[in-house]
Amino acid sequence: MSVTSRRLRSIATATLTVGLALGMTTACSAKKDAEPNANGTGPVTISLSYFGTPGFNQAVKDFEAANPNIKVDVKNEGQTKDFAPKLAQWISAGSGASDVVMLEEGMLLQYLKDNKGFANLLDLGASSVEKDYLSFKWKNAFTADGKKLVGLGTDVGPLAMCYRTDLFQKAGLPVDRDAVSKLWPTWEEYVKQGEVFKSKNTGAAWTDSATSVMQPYIMQNADSWFYDKSDKYIGDTNPAVKKAYDLGLDMAGKGLTAKLARWSADWDAAFKNAAFATVPCPPWYTGVIKERAGDAGKNKWDIATIPGKGGNWGGSYLAIPEQSKNKKAAFELIKFITGKQGGLDAFAEAGPLPSSIAALDDPKITDAKNEYFNNAPVGKIYAGAAKELKPIYLGPKHQALWENAFEPAMQAAEQGKLSAQAGWDKAIKDSKALAEG
Amino acid sequence: MSTTMTRPRNLPVEPPKKNRGRVRSASAALWDASPLTYLALIITIVLSIFPIVWSFIVASRENSAVTDIPPPLTPGPNFFDNASRVLANTDANFVYGLINSAVVSSCVTLSVVFFSTLAGFAFAKLKFRGKNALLLIIILTMMIPTQVNIIPLYLLMVKFDWTNTLQAVIVPFLVKGFGVFMIRQYAESAISDELIEAARVDGASTWRTYWSVVLPALRPAAAVLGLLTFMETWNDFLWPYVVLNGDTPTVQVSLNILATGYYKTDYVQVFTGTALAIVPLLLVFIAFGRQIIGGIMEGSVKA
Amino acid sequence: MATNVGEVTGPRHGRAPAGPSKQPSRRSVRVGRLDLRLSPYLFVAPFFVLFAVFGAYPLIYTAILSTRKNTLTGGDAGFVGLENYRKILWDEHFWIVIFNTFGLFFVATVPQLIFALLIASWLNKKMRARTAIRMGVLIPNITSVAAVGIVFGLIFADRYGLANWLLQSVHLDPVEWRNHRWSSWTAIAFMVDWRWTGYNALIYLAAMQAIPKELYESASLDGASAARRFWRITVPLIQPTILFTVIISTIGGMQLFTEPLLFNYGRIQGGSLNEFQTVAMYIYETTFTNNYNVGRGAAISWLLFIIILIFALINFALVRRSVKGQTS
């Protein structure tokens, strides 16, 4: 034991002691949240739980300014995958949830079926604002019997197709976004262009994975996916599902996909390494690309229209748990955040495309350009696409059926671990078992 | 469930009385690390440290550095920028998270070490009826899978009105079967029955024996247990995340908030946050390191 | 119970309280007897009281849940007897995750404990910068799981990962880590061992410190080699601790969750064909994703509990016999 290490030790001990003392003081002086004041005699405090970066901060400030009687306690709950089980616990225990909670599409679907834990927004006067929202978004938040509205939509995900101009140039394809849009009026044309692209040996694939083609295809071409409206499993008989599966695996078989698993480290890196040329992209996805492709990818990406008709991918809702003691104030907050002002605030702060029609018509959105994507007029592209979206019925366990049963089996087939037929059989067997379990 | 320990038979028990000088030099040769040992340890440590050093390197760079191949091996210029970004993140409440974690980990550690040495000593060295059955129960407690316990435990916290308070992450963890079992196994071989007897004969109560004879002898194991408990508590995520909200975070809950984006992971913030979160653990380690390495060398020299 | 290692020298810190010993009075004899009889119970009581509330209650609650149809989002839908258990045991998925769990346990734990023993014996020497070195060995354990997961996810990325980059730089074929059972198990075992070997080494080290040095010195005078001293003195004398780590590793291995989860970037299925999904991941998938099926999840938990119990007992018996074999 040398002198220095002894000194180091005493410094460490001293630091710890001070830190602890500080901590104890804070711990003892920390108060629990004040009880909500439900009588309306003074200012009411309501809480709002969100995950990810939906860009609510400015909207909440504006809301508080407009409603001096309501204070909002904003809670960032971290990551979606952690928040979903936590919320399920709150709902199940009947305690713990905030007055307003954000629901991702998959979570909303679950709670449309198990809707006891949530307030009916129609009872709070939501019908008066129906016309403010894109109609598909409004309809998607109703329970199967159409009597209960669980949430109001924050943002929507109309699809476009992002592509790399540098790879297109190399392959001798046009690079101008209007010309590119004309290359693929249908998915069949899209596959054909992929084969042309492949024959030019750029070293890159046409798109990232078979599964990322399947999703938009179904979203465009069917009004249901795994479930019919009575929540019966129809994944095995729905022709759109089989068609989309075959389309995806056909592309994989022709060597047009990079066979990457989405949201993996390889997939992240593939953006930077220009490993594929096109990818279906809703508005929030532009952030995904920018984040991963980094500075090196600037101005190398552009945005064209998606093959086929319009389709939606992703987007969230705000809902009020039944356990909330301040539903009125909570509803005011939801109306504000999902309304015109809130939508514009969020768009400016974090970029999600609002589901409020008035916001979509605002020049702040229609004139918006995305510098990273060659100054593509994203506002015009996406706001235009958003208005053409039609509702699609997804059903209670859609997210789990897709992500935990169908997609893995399809990936196994794409990676060659299973034949296309075996992959299909497994995808159907697993998703059916899950739907019925 | 009792373990018997037999002394190796072939070994002479009495230290040879002759040749004291030879014993000394033999002892030195036995206990000095050879160059080979150093080499093996250095390899071990390089392997252990690389991922961490690398995450510090990433913490000093920009997000896109994460997927560079070959990976960046030198620190970049951004560490302090990134650190101030972490500390300024009001959602993550990072400093408050650090303080809460320090409080929680210290309380849990002190309690676990105290109750474990107490019970471990009783199981190893005291005679009482039902001992083996009780020990078996303790071992069984460790086999309960943690994932589903969360639900009943959460309901319990709701009933106690402890959600969003630090009690919720302290009180359920004040004792650990692991600790009792570990100390019991250690005490079994490290404390002689004669020692306890001697204390008894001197009129010491059981408590007194524990406090002034047993506890000092258990020091190395207690220090290891304390360290492991502290780190485990410090790094626990799932339960604090479920039962606390962003207003009362532990440091891991704060880190989770740092990691989020709208469908993206801000690697640099995560690594920077982790780097900052490790510092208190290093302090603990430096402060208690001596306890862990204590003993053996003094003992061998003394003999 | 004949544990007399301390006999040779006695623990270094152990000292009977000083003071003149008096003839005990009758009263103090009575108190003494009470003390002898009651103290052990008082000493173990805190554990059991706290455990009853925060351990036993949840366990029983879980047992009750496992006989009910219950989802987190939909609530309780009545008693179903053993239906949950039947569904699980008749589902191939359960047997896949059982196979994975045991496989990963063997691949990860055996090397881990052997290395830990070796490292502990290296650490149990006089050397420069002892604290720093011991600290270095334990360092993997002090990092947050989130960061470790990201780091290893990147190291074992299929196409752009560090591990494959190293393989390719010595002209070996890159490995698609998540696409085969063997490769995913190797990578996960590496992650597990990276994180826990130092931890076990430290536990062994603490036990080794209690072995009297004289045993080694006289053995060495008798001409016993280092390897012989290790097997004949160290291993038998820390036998209780080895047993302890084997049981702890069994329990930990059977509940393996975080590493395979993070290895697959947070996806709970563990590979597109569940190649490395463990029982604990299956419990989480059942309870907190897919169906929020708490009843089913509780039943899997109880099955896992029983499996751990049996397996730990087998390990206990095996290790005890083999380690004992060394001494006779």
With respect to residue B268, please indicate whether it lies within any of the assigned structural domains.
Answer: yes
With respect to residue A32, please indicate whether it lies within any of the assigned structural domains.
Answer: no
With respect to residue A169, please indicate whether it lies within any of the assigned structural domains.
Answer: yes
pLDDT at position B31 is: 77
Tell me which residue has tokens 């994932």.
B147
Provide mean pLDDT across the span C109-118. 94
With respect to residue B105, please indicate whether it lies within any of the assigned structural domains.
Answer: yes
Give the integer Cα–Cα distance in Å for A405 and A427: 6
In a mutagenesis test of the B interface, which of A8, A11, A16, A353 is the best target, namely the one with the most B β-carbons within 10 Å? A16
pLDDT in tens, C47-66: 999 988 888 888 899 999 99
**Domains in chain C, ordered, with CATH?**
59-327 (1.10.3720.10)
Q: Residues of A numbered 79-98 whose beta carbons fall under 8 angstroms of chain B's beta carbons: which are they? A: 79, 82, 85-86, 89, 92-96
* Number of domains into which chain B is organized: 1
Q: What's the DSSP call for residue A224?
A: B
Give the residue from chain A lying closest to C290, CA to CA: A400
With respect to residue B73, please indicate whether it lies within any of the assigned structural domains.
Answer: no
Q: Residues of B numbered 185-204 whose beta carbons fall under 8 angstroms of chain A's beta carbons: which are they? A: none
Q: Is B102 helix (H, G, I), strand (E, B) or coil?
A: helix
Give the residue from chain B lying closest to A27, CA to CA: B100
Dihedral sign for Cα B211, B216, B221, B225, please.
positive
Find the CATH number of the domain harbouring B280: 1.10.3720.10
Verify that A210 and A121 share a domain, yes or no: no
Report the residue from B64, B262, B280 with minimal CB separation from A284: B262
With 70 as the cut, is the pLDDT of residue C90 above it?
A: yes
Q: Residues of A numbered 114-143 whose beta carbons fall under 8 angstroms of chain B's beta carbons: which are they? A: none
Q: Residues of A numbered 265-324 whose beta carbons fall under 8 angstroms of chain C's beta carbons: which are they? A: 265-266, 269-270, 273, 275
Mean pLDDT (chain C, rounded):
83
C contacts of A411 (beta carbons < 8 Å): 272
pLDDT at position A9 is: 66
Verify that A284 and A173 share a domain, yes or no: yes
pLDDT at position A32 is: 43
Give the integer Cα–Cα distance in Å for A209 and A278: 10
Report the residue from C2, C247, C305 with minimal CB separation from B145: C305
Report the residue from A1, A20, A85 with minimal CB separation from B106: A20
B contacts of A85 (beta carbons < 8 Å): 242
More confident call, C14 vs A434 = A434
Verify that A390 and A257 share a domain, yes or no: yes
Give me the helices (H) in C156-212, please.
162-169, 181-208
With respect to residue B34, please indicate whether it lies within any of the assigned structural domains.
Answer: no
Distances (CA, A) of C238 to B27, B280, C121: 21, 32, 12
pLDDT in tens, chain A (437 residues): 445 566 666 666 666 666 655 555 555 444 444 444 445 457 899 999 998 888 899 999 999 999 999 999 998 888 788 888 889 989 988 888 999 999 998 899 999 989 999 999 999 999 999 999 999 999 999 998 899 999 999 999 999 999 999 999 999 999 999 999 999 999 999 999 999 999 999 999 999 999 989 988 998 888 899 999 888 999 999 999 999 999 999 999 999 999 998 888 888 889 988 999 999 999 988 888 887 888 888 999 999 999 988 888 888 999 999 999 999 999 999 999 999 999 999 998 888 899 999 999 999 999 999 999 999 999 999 999 998 888 888 888 898 899 889 999 999 999 899 999 999 999 999 999 999 87
* Pairwise CB contact (< 8 Å): B191 & C244: no
| Interface size between B and C, measured as CB pairs under 8 A | 420
Contact between B51 and C151 under an 8 Å Cβ cutoff? The reply is: yes
pLDDT at position A12 is: 66
pLDDT at position A290 is: 86
Verify that A236 and A107 share a domain, yes or no: no
With respect to residue A251, please indicate whether it lies within any of the assigned structural domains.
Answer: yes
With respect to residue A321, please indicate whether it lies within any of the assigned structural domains.
Answer: yes
Which residues of chain B, if any, have pLDDT below 70? 1-29, 64, 67, 69-70, 148, 259-265, 288-303
With respect to residue A301, please indicate whether it lies within any of the assigned structural domains.
Answer: yes
Verify that A125 and A56 share a domain, yes or no: yes
Verify that A138 and A264 share a domain, yes or no: no
| Interface size between A and C, measured as CB pairs under 8 A | 92
Domain enclosing residue B157, as ranges:
49-68+78-302
With respect to residue A104, please indicate whether it lies within any of the assigned structural domains.
Answer: yes
Residues in chain C: 328
pLDDT at position A11 is: 67
* Pairwise CB contact (< 8 Å): B4 & C155: no
pLDDT at position B295 is: 39
Tell me which chains share at least 3 CB pairs under 8 Å with chain A.
B, C
More confident call, C6 vs C207 = C207
Give the integer Cα–Cα distance in Å for A16 and B205: 34
Q: How far is B205 from chain A (nearest CA, A)?
A: 33
Verify that A287 and A405 share a domain, yes or no: yes
With respect to residue A336, please indicate whether it lies within any of the assigned structural domains.
Answer: yes
Amino acid type, A140: N
List of residues 6+ apart from B36 with CB closer than 8 A? none
Verify that A380 and A357 share a domain, yes or no: no
Give the residue from chain C lying closest to B175, CA to CA: C47
pLDDT in tens, B228-258: 898 889 888 888 988 887 778 888 888 877 7
pLDDT at position B264 is: 55
Verify that A333 and A247 share a domain, yes or no: no
Verify that A49 and A130 share a domain, yes or no: yes
Count the neighbouring beta carbons within 10 Å of the beta carbon of residue A104. 18
* Number of domains into which chain A is organized: 2
List of residues 6+ apart from C317 with CB closer than 8 A? none
Provide mean pLDDT across the span C73-92. 92
Q: How far is A253 from chain B (nearest CA, A)?
A: 28
Q: pTM for this structure?
A: 0.85
Q: Where does a domain end: A366, A388, A410? A: A366
Give me the residues paired with residue A303 across strands.
A162
Q: Please report the DSSP string for A363-397 in residue order.
A: HHHHT--BTTTTTB-HHHHHHHHHTT----B--TT
Domain enclosing residue A139, as ranges:
44-157+314-366
More confident call, C23 vs C189 = C189
Q: Where does a domain end: A328, A347, A366? A: A366
Find the CATH number of the domain harbouring A140: 3.40.190.10
Verify that A235 and A265 share a domain, yes or no: yes
Verify that A273 and A382 share a domain, yes or no: yes
